[in-house]
Amino acid sequence: QTIRLSDYTPPAYLVDEVHLTFRLNPSATRVTSRIAFRPNPEARERRFKLDGEGLKLIRAMIDGEPVTPALSDAGLTCDAPDAPFTWEAEVEIDPEGNTALEGLYMSNGMYCTQCEAEGFRKITYYPDRPDVMAVFTVRIESDLPVLLSNGNPVERGEGFAEWHDPWPKPAYLFALVAGDLVNHPGRFTTKSGREVDLNIWVRPGDEGKCAFGMEALRASMRWDEEKYGREYDLDLFNIVAVDDFNMGAMENKGLNVFNSSCVLASPETSTDANFERIEAIIAHEYFHNWTGNRITCRDWFQLCLKEGLTVFRDSQFTADMRSAPVKRIGDVITLRARQFREDNGPLAHPVRPESFVEINNFYTATVYEKGAELIGMLKTLVGDDAYYRALDLYFERHDGQACTIEDWLAVFEDVTGRDLAQFKRWYEEAGTPRIDVEESWTPGAPGAQGGGTYTLTLRQHTPPTPGQEVKNPRVIPVKVGLIGPNGDEVAETRVLELTEAEQSFAFEGLTAKPVPSILREFSAPVILNRDSDAAERAFLLAHDTDPFNRWEAGRALAREGLMAMIVEGAAPDRHYLDAIERVARDETLDPAFRALALGLPSEEDMAQALFDAGHTPDPQAIWEALDALKSARAHAMQDIAATLYDAHQVRAPYRPDAEQSGARSLANAALAMLGRLDGGARAQAQYDAADNMTQQLAALTCLVRANAGDAAVQAFYDQWRHDRLVIDKWFGLQILNAEPARAVEVTRRLTQHPDFTLKNPNRFRAVLGALTAFPAGFHDPSGAGYALLTDWLLKLDPLNPQTTARMCSAFETWRRYDADRQTLIKAQLDRLLAQPGLSRDTAEMVGRIRGN
Ligand code: ARG
Ligand code: ZN
């Protein structure tokens, strides 16, 4: 059944107050609810209808009188007064039997909840929609030592605890946690003097992995006060780490629940990248307290209202905490890998979708990451000052409300007087715009210094996406600067506002034809097409003042060289090798930036680029070209690689900050080059000496790639077998670094390992997700990769539809491959669709991927 944005109707009844009592029992938890309803004056019809799924109704009463509601799979309806009344119900649920990890479930003996988007209906009957906001009081009865819910503690006694959350909230922000947990405490004083107790709750044994998360939380709280004027609003803020969790983390009011992989950190067990990600996710969930909780979404079509904005805010935070250019480059790499892929395939959908079958399928890169890009473009278009004034107005006007994208755009219109009707297309139309660039140069009159005019003509078009044939021109902020022939910047960055299908922009007063630096900072999520040559790319890589475009020039050089290797059988490009060596040697450049510049386009990037250029990508050929380029580069750069490796060894005690992690990433990039030449000798030495996971894992990866890793792989397992997060890495790296022809076999072998389990999404993703992240292995011409993935998706679906459905996106690019591969994939898609009882989640995903 398809739900549509255009069918939105206001709720028939509103809720003022909710009282919940949980009598916890692993297989038979009783939940009693007392809910104060009142008719919604804005409603068009007065039907009393509550959502509920998988609940055993024990009894129900309205104003103290027993009632017999009409029950269905999706909930109940009942005659109800056209006046305020009290609903009471008791239901029974089975947390232990809940393998979907949605609603109330158990993970390693602890009770926990995940309600976003529609999980609360698996806990009790309720109007489970975000525009119904209520004040919750929760009583938990259990002998477990730690009993937590949202808000502030009211009473704690023998075998029970009571909690009260004074802030009205939708049911998706409800949370409950109970278990044998220990806490890492902290404190924060808000700028107006509120003393807040902070806790990170973990299973005994994980206490030593909380300190970094606590500091990240305190930094986030300070940052939101300073940057957005947002203060925390309760006396307590709890974070809980849960091992079995479908996603990263969840912003429940005052009780954030985290996948343990997104909060637990220690130098011995976490890489630098893990630390950075943990800091960002803690910030993200904390920032939701204002952008998501105090101001929430009217309906799930507005998901980007909270997610796009909160991702944008957490990116700003990371940019401030670490290096802004490095953060931007990293964000663009993931945007292209995940969102462009989505936007250019069968799952393309607008940032604000117009229909869905299962909302869990729309927690996508488009809603999150493209949603964040839209906020960034808006900020570029209106300017920083107007942006922060609009945000102040948003918080003032909409605090306590459930809002829409229209509300969001209206604050910008009111603050700036600007008409954002055209900008709104970004929310409504799917697809990645292409911008084609043409340039012309008119020299000044002879003898007239500086009379030259350089003109850029930009043309935009967006290819059709499923269900949206016609695309309209968007407003696209294109940041441009000009570099003169001697390498100096002759025109500083300015924002060109492209609003038409085609538009020209003139730069006057120039003495010589410049080289343009277009789309600086990646100022819009578009694909820029511009004919250029290797010499010009190398020039920009050497001279651009915009770090993003400098990196981009190197990336384009690498991509074009790889294309020539794959399509024409060319040798590795000398321009690239020379230019990249100059960057690597440039001591004025940040080591983290140099490490990024040494990165190569991913196999996925190359497949898309080849497809866009009219070729059928061959995953094995792509892998081989990348391998050949890496070897050529290792040979060309062996001296500098050894120098870089030695010069960037960190001697100081481990810190996960930008400076040290930048040095380690450059040293490890050098190690990877050297590993191609020395058979893994240096990597073995680094492995043996490593005292932190970044160094240990980089060395192990290098050894496996050099086919010299067997002993280290076993030693690593023996060392870390007790630590599930580290063992997840162990599983993944063996697949990701296998020979392509062996990847499926390695994956199959690892699914037989005693530590492999369907019950834990992290472990499932570590194994099957690794295979799908390795195109040359997954797309084995035999189809064995497709069949293996499908075997496991079919096993997982009855237990955990959400994680199954998400992983189906491995097939979303199928139409770009050759006919044989398409046939093989189609057979697996059909096999999935033919499965009796396939979940709604998976059925929707596979149906959309397959098309008709
Ligand atoms: N709101 C959470 C976050 O972004 C994610 C919830 C994901 N929910 C889901 N059903 N996939 O922080
Ligand atoms: Zn979020």
The reported pLDDT for the residue numbered 816 is 97
Q: Given this model, what pLDDT does residue 248 score?
A: 98
Which residue's alpha carbon is at the smallest distance from atom 5 of ligand 1? Answer: 250
Give the distance (Å) from ligand 2 centre to CA of residue 250: 7
For residue 792, what pLDDT is reported?
A: 99
**Average pLDDT of span 6-16:** 98
CA count, 13 A, side-chain hemisphere, 291: 29
Q: Which atom of ligand 1 is nearest to the CA of 368?
A: 4
Give the ranges where 371-472 is alpha helix by DSSP (H).
Answer: 371-382, 384-398, 405-416, 425-428
262 alpha carbon, closest ligand:
1
Annotation says 285 is catalytic: yes
Adjacent-strand bridge partners of 413: none
Helix (H, G, I), strand (E, B) or coil at 96: coil
Ligand nearest to the CA of 114: 1
Please report the pLDDT score of residue 445 as a whole number. 86
Predicted local confidence at residue 268, as pLDDT: 98
User: What's the pLDDT tens digit per position in 631-652?
Assistant: 999 999 999 999 999 999 999 9
How far is CA 555 from each of CA 445, 559, 561, 580, rounded to the nearest angstrom? Answer: 38, 6, 10, 10
pLDDT tens, position by position, 250-296: 999 999 999 999 999 999 999 999 999 999 999 999 999 999 999 99
For residue 843, give the amino acid letter: A
pLDDT at 692 over 90: yes
| Ligand 2 geometric centre to CA of 151 (Å) | 19
Residue 447: pLDDT over 90: no
Q: Which atom of ligand 1 approaches the CA of 249 most closely?
A: 12
651-680 per-position pLDDT tens digit: 999 999 999 999 999 999 999 999 999 999
Lookup result for tokens 């609009």: 390
Q: What are phi and psi of 568, to 5 degrees?
A: -110, 0
779 or 45: which carries more pLDDT confidence?
Answer: 779
Q: How far is the CA of 252 from the centre of ligand 2 (A)?
A: 11
Could you tell me the pLDDT band of residue 477, with boundaries at 50, 70 and 90? very high
Mean pLDDT of 692-698: 98
Q: Please identify which of the residues 53, 162, 276, 285 carries the catalytic annotation.
A: 285
Mutate-to-test residue for ligand 1 from 247, 312, 362, highest number of ligand atoms within 8 A of CB:
247
Please give the distance of CA 252 from its chain centroid, rounded to a whole number.
18
Closest ligand (CA of 115): 1
Task: Calculate mean pLDDT across residues 462-490.
Answer: 98
- What is the rounded average pLDDT of the residues 616-622? 98
Residue 726's pLDDT is what? 98
Split at pLDDT 50, 70, 90, the class of 449 is confident
Atom of ligand 1 nearest to the CA of 363: 11
Share of the chain above pLDDT 90, in %: 99
Compute the half-sphere exposure of residue 71: CA atoms within 13 Å on the CB side of its CA.
Answer: 14
What is the C-alpha separation between 720 and 241, in angstroms, rounded? 19
Q: What is the mean pLDDT of the chain?
A: 98
Q: Are 597 and 549 contacting, i.e. CB atoms less than 8 angstroms apart?
A: no
Q: How confident is the model over 498-549, as pLDDT tens digits?
A: 999 999 999 999 999 999 999 999 999 999 999 999 999 999 999 999 999 9
Q: What is the rounded CA–CA span in Å between residue 413 and residue 381?
A: 12
Report the distance separating Cα 681 and Cα 568, nearest Å: 35
Question: How close is the Cα of 18 to the center of ligand 2, in Å?
Answer: 25
Q: What is the mean pLDDT of residues 305-317?
A: 99
Which tens digits make up the pLDDT trace of 720-740?
Answer: 999 999 999 999 999 999 999
Distance in Å, CA 220 to ligand 2 centroid: 15
Query: What percent of the chain is modeled with pLDDT above 70?
Result: 100
Average pLDDT over residues 789-801: 99
The size of the chain, in residues, is 852
Question: How do beta strands 402-403 and 296-297 pair?
Answer: parallel
Cα distance between residue 140 and residue 174, in whole Å: 13
Judged against a pLDDT cut of 90, whether residue 450 lies above it is answered with no
Which atom of ligand 1 lies nearest, measured to the CA of 102?
10
Q: Is 623 helix (H, G, I), strand (E, B) or coil?
A: helix
The number of beta carbons lying within 10 Å of the beta carbon of residue 780 is 24
The letter for the amino acid at 470 is: V
pLDDT, residue 424, reads: 98
Q: If DSSP codes are grouped into helix, strand and coil, which group holds residue 788?
A: helix
pLDDT at residue 89 is higher than 90: yes
Taking the centre of ligand 2 as the mean of its atom positions, its distance from the CA of residue 565, in whole angstroms, is 41
* 184 alpha carbon – ligand 2 mean position (Å): 24
Please tell me the predicted confidence (pLDDT) of residue 712: 98
Helix (H, G, I), strand (E, B) or coil at 611: helix
Rounded mean pLDDT, 749-755: 98
Q: What one-character DSSP code corresponds to residue 444?
A: P
Q: Which of 250, 255, 284, 840 to mutate to test the pocket of ligand 1 (most atoms within 8 A of CB)?
A: 250
Residue 594 tokens read as 């140099």
Cross-strand partners of 103: 114
In this structure, the residue with its CA closest to atom 9 of ligand 1 is: 360
Atom of ligand 1 nearest to the CA of 360: 10
Answer yes or no: are the C-beta atoms of 237 and 185 closer than 8 Å.
no
Separation between Cα atoms, residue 213 and residue 210, nearest integer Å: 5
pLDDT of residue 852: 74
Position 186, amino acid? G
Give the β-pairing of 13-23 and 134-141. Answer: parallel
What protein residues have CB closer than 5 angstroms to ion ligand 2? 307, 310
Region 360-367: what's the mean pLDDT?
Answer: 98
Q: Residue 316: which pLDDT band, with cuts at 50, 70 and 90?
A: very high
Nearest ligand, measured from the Cα of 359 = 1
Output the CA–CA distances (angstroms, integers) from residue 249 to 260, 781, 838, in the order listed.
9, 37, 26
| Nearest in space to 702 (alpha carbons), one of 681, 725, 727 | 681
| 809 and 604 Cβ atoms separated by less than 8 Å | no
Q: How far apart are CA 106 and CA 647, in angstroms?
A: 49
pLDDT band at 743 (very low <50, low <70, confident <90, very high): very high
**Binding pocket residue ranges, ligand 1, CB within 6 Å:** 116-117, 247, 249-251, 284-285, 307, 360, 363
- Check pLDDT > 80 for residue 448: no
Cα–Cα–Cα angle for 528, 529, 535, nearest 5°? 110
DSSP annotation of 651: -
For 130-144, how does the pLDDT look when each residue is reduced to its tens digit (9 = 90+)? 999 999 999 999 999
Would you say 10 and 42 are in contact if contact means Cβ atoms under 8 Å apart? yes
Give the C-alpha separation, 756 to 773, whole Å: 18
Name the DSSP class of 654: P
Q: Which two tokens stand for residue 712?
A: 């280290």
